[in-house]
Every structure is written in C-alpha cells, then in structure tokens.
C-alpha cells in the first residue's frame, strides 16, 4: 500500500467521521448462527492468521459443511405454518434477531433501515425474507406481499410446465447440454449441491432464465450465482432434502429464479456478447489498484501479469470460487445493502482482496503470482476476515469513488 494512501487514513484522518451510520465502530459478527461483537481499530490492520476450521462431515446433503446453519436446524415448525407468500423464518432468539424480525414483519418495511442493518450482516434466521425484500422481489407493503408472490410463483411454475412438457428433445440441445455439464460442477465440495434433486432444480432455473434472456443466454458462472439463494432459502426448513415436500421445493426453486433474475438484471452486461461489463470493471479495478498501491501495480506490470488473467473470474463469479459459500453469503448481505453492490462496490472488494497479498505478490514471479491469485489461501478465513475485507473495500470506496482523477482519467486514456 502506498505511503499516500496510508496517510489518507492514518490516525489523524477524518475518514471514520465521514462514514455513514450503518458502518459501525463495532462489527457485529453474524456467522454460523452466532452473534458476537468485536471492537475494530480506527485504522485498518492486517488480519491475524485464523485457526484452521474443522468441519464435520455429513453423509447427507445438507449445507452444514459450508459453515452455516444446517437444514436440520432447531426449528420444528413446518413450511405450511409460515405466513402465506413468505419464507418461514426461525423465531428470534437474541436482540439482533429480534431487531430484524420486528423490521421484517412491519406493515411497510423501511428499506433504508433494512439496508442499514443488513450492511453489518443479517442473522441467518432472518436472512431469507431480508434478501427477498432487498432484492426487490418481495413487496415492501405486507398487505400486497402474499398475493404478489403467489402470482410470481405460479408464473414460474407455468413456465416450467410449458418449457419441459414435451421432454428434453424439445429443448435447445446446445444450451441444455452445457447446463447439464456445469451443474454437477457447481460447489463440488458441498453435499447439498450434489443432491440429484437439487441438481435437477438448478437445471430448470438456469434453462428457464437463459431462454428468457436471449441477449446474454446462459454463461458459465451464472450457475455459481444461483447457489447462495438455494442455500439461504433451504436453511429455513428443518427437513433433509429428500424428505422435503414438493411444494417446498417448488417455492424455493421459484424464489431462487426470481432473485437470480433480479441480481442479473443489474449486471447483465457481464454476460452479453464479449462481456463488456466485465471488461469495463477490469479497467476500473486496474486503475484503482494503481492509485492505492503503485508498487504492486508496477510489479504486476513488470512481470507481465494482466488483470484479466486472474480478476476476470473474480468479477464473473463474484469471488465465489475464491472464498467459501459461507463467506459469500455474508458478503452478499453487504452487497444487497450497497447501491450497485454487485457491480460498483464489488470492484472495491476485488481491489481490497488483491491488496491483502500485496507484499507477498511483490516477491513472486509471473507463474507464482498467477498460482496464488487463482487459488488464494482463504480456506481458513473466518467471519472476521470477511468483515475486514468489506470494511477495507468501503474505505477505498469513500476515498476514491468520484475522485476527480479516478476512473475519469482512465476513461480519457482510452
């Protein structure tokens, strides 16, 4: 990190005085169903090496191996007992969960307050409904919610029936073949996504989305973006996958389709021909890193390392292949609370992610740099590491977003 940047947020900086109220002085850790609080320093610090995470293996397809609440949660209520049109969220057990529960069950959800609270992380018990509201899928007005969601779920179910009623022979063979190849590769370390029932569901969602968005169609990487929705929506139910009622799976599938649609509506340029959205973001990221850490940028250039060689996948898959599913879900809490979180803010997250290994990278040659960046050492990352990454990204956004010499200068050179 350059001396200029360090000076910009040193102990005498007024940066923290300028941050909005939803960036707290204490970071509330919401991870694996637990909530703790840790005071953060006034200046960014390097994270201490985290102890390796020991995961217990389970022969059944559940999300437990990903570090979040398993499907077999303590909730004993069935899906049918949920409010019509909404997900069954688990009853609040602490102050933070109660705060979200009160907010989410109000007659008219205050979206700004929900964004403010969600930036710090959403309790897993309240996440499914919060995400649907933040995505713009669930109406904020409770009186309209049930009818609207029921209509959207029926609409998706009708599409599936029409699309697959004549069998696989009537499908676009090339498209269907690519999806059938990619789905088994989706989150291969998770038994949940190796379940045949889940894989068939993923295939239907991806195919229906692709044929309704011909400008982009299906692109490898979209399959990854679908998995957090399945995990979050399934985590509210207390049954194993194979024993879930068909109506529950239909609801999860439909809601995942609509949330994926909302997500991709904001970043569709990433997946159209030649993927211009990703190309623009790569240029922005390179310019941003050059301004924050000039020595790192110079070393990458001297070794012939192009940002497209490692950061293309970071943008295309939203870093999902670089961090765990648990970390991804926590990051998405913040992305959903940020304006253009999955596009603009994600670039600052990618820059912060790269800068974490700046010193190490500057000691490596071309081949070793790419090996590091294509498989960064995040296996032992904890919630604290994710929180620090998001905080650093937000700091860079405050310092460099709309800066007179930022982005515009890069645009003039082009």
Determine if the pTM surpasses 0.85. no
Inter-CA distances, 347 with 18, 133, 236, 386, 390, Å:
21, 24, 31, 15, 11
Closest to 319 in 3D by CA, of 392, 380, 394, 375: 375
Please tell me the predicted confidence (pLDDT) of residue 44. 40
Which stretches of the chain drop beneath a pLDDT of 50? 1-85, 406-414
The torsion defined by the Cα of 281, 285, 286 and 289, in degrees rounded to 10, comes to 170
**Residues 316, 221: contact at Cβ < 8 Å?**
yes
Please tell me the predicted confidence (pLDDT) of residue 189. 84
Please tell me the predicted confidence (pLDDT) of residue 92. 63
Spatial separation of the C-alpha atoms in residues 312 and 59, rounded to whole Å: 35
**Residues 409, 287: contact at Cβ < 8 Å?**
yes
Question: Exposed (0-12), middle (13-18) or buried (19+): which is 302, by Cβ within 10 Å?
Answer: exposed
Please tell me the predicted confidence (pLDDT) of residue 391. 97
What is the residue whose two structure tokens read 């968005």? 213
Spatial separation of the C-alpha atoms in residues 67 and 31, rounded to whole Å: 8
Please tell me the predicted confidence (pLDDT) of residue 410. 40
Spatial separation of the C-alpha atoms in residues 411 and 253, rounded to whole Å: 41
Determine the 3-state secondary structure of 80 from DSSP: helix
φ, ψ of residue 208 in degrees (nearest 5): -60, -40
Closest to 226 in 3D by CA, of 214, 246, 208: 208
End-to-end CA, the chain: 26
Inter-CA distances, 227 with 42, 192, 224, 231, Å:
35, 10, 6, 6
**Residues 65, 193: contact at Cβ < 8 Å?**
no
Please tell me the predicted confidence (pLDDT) of residue 77. 30
Residues counted in the chain: 414
Spatial separation of the C-alpha atoms in residues 147 and 157, rounded to whole Å: 15
Angle between helices 127-134 and 222-234 (to 10 degrees): 130
Number of helical H runs and strand E runs in the chain: 19, 2
pLDDT per position as a tens digit, 82-92 = 333 456 556 66
Please tell me the predicted confidence (pLDDT) of residue 188. 87
Q: Give the list of residues 6+ apart from residue 352 with CB closer than 8 angstroms, or none.
A: 389, 392, 393, 396
């Amino acid at each position: 990190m350059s001396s200029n940047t360090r000076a910009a947020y040193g102990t005498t900086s007024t940066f923290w005085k300028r941050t909005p109220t939803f960036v707290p002085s204490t970071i509330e850790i919401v991870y694996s169903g637990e909530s703790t609080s840790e005071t953060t320093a006034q200046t960014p610090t390097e994270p201490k090496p985290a102890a390796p995470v020991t995961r217990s293996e389970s022969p059944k397809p559940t999300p437990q191996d990903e570090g979040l609440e398993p499907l077999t949660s303590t909730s004993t209520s069935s899906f049918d007992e949920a409010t019509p049109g909404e997900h069954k969220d688990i009853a609040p057990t602490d102050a933070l969960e109660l705060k979200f529960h009160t907010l989410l069950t109000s007659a008219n959800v205050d979206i700004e307050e929900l964004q403010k609270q969600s930036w710090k992380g959403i309790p897993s018990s309240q996440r499914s409904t919060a995400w649907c509201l933040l995505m713009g899928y669930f109406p904020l007005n409770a009186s309209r919610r049930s009818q609207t969601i029921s209509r959207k779920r029926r609409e998706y179910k009708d599409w599936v029936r029409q699309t697959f009623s004549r069998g696989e022979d009537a499908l676009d063979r090339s498209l269907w073949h690519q999806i059938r190849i990619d789905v088994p590769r989706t989150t291969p370390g998770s038994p949940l996504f190796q379940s045949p029932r889940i894989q068939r569901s993923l295939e239907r969602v991806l195919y229906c989305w692709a044929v309704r968005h011909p400008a982009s169609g299906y692109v490898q990487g979209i399959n990854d973006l679908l998995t957090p929705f399945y995990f979050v929506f399934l985590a509210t139910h207390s049954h194993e996958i194979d024993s879930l009622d068909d109506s529950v799976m239909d609801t999860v599938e439909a809601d995942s389709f609509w949330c994926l649609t909302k997500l991709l509506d904001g970043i569709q340029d990433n997946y159209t021909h030649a993927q211009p959205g990703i190309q623009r973001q790569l240029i922005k990221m390179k310019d941003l890193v050059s301004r924050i850490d000039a020595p790192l940028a110079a070393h990458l250039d001297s070794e012939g390392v192009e940002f497209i060689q490692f950061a293309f996948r970071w943008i295309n898959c939203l870093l999902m292949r670089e961090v765990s599913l648990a970390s991804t879900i926590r990051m998405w809490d913040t992305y959903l609370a940020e304006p253009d979180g999955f596009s603009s803010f994600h670039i600052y997250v990618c820059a912060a992610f790269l800068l974490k290994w700046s010193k190490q990278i500057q000691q490596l040659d071309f081949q070793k740099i790419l090996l590091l960046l294509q498989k960064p050492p995040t296996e032992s990352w904890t919630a604290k590491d994710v929180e620090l990454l998001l905080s650093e990204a937000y700091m860079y956004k405050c310092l460099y977003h709309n800066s007179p010499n930022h982005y515009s200068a890069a645009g003039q050179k082009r």
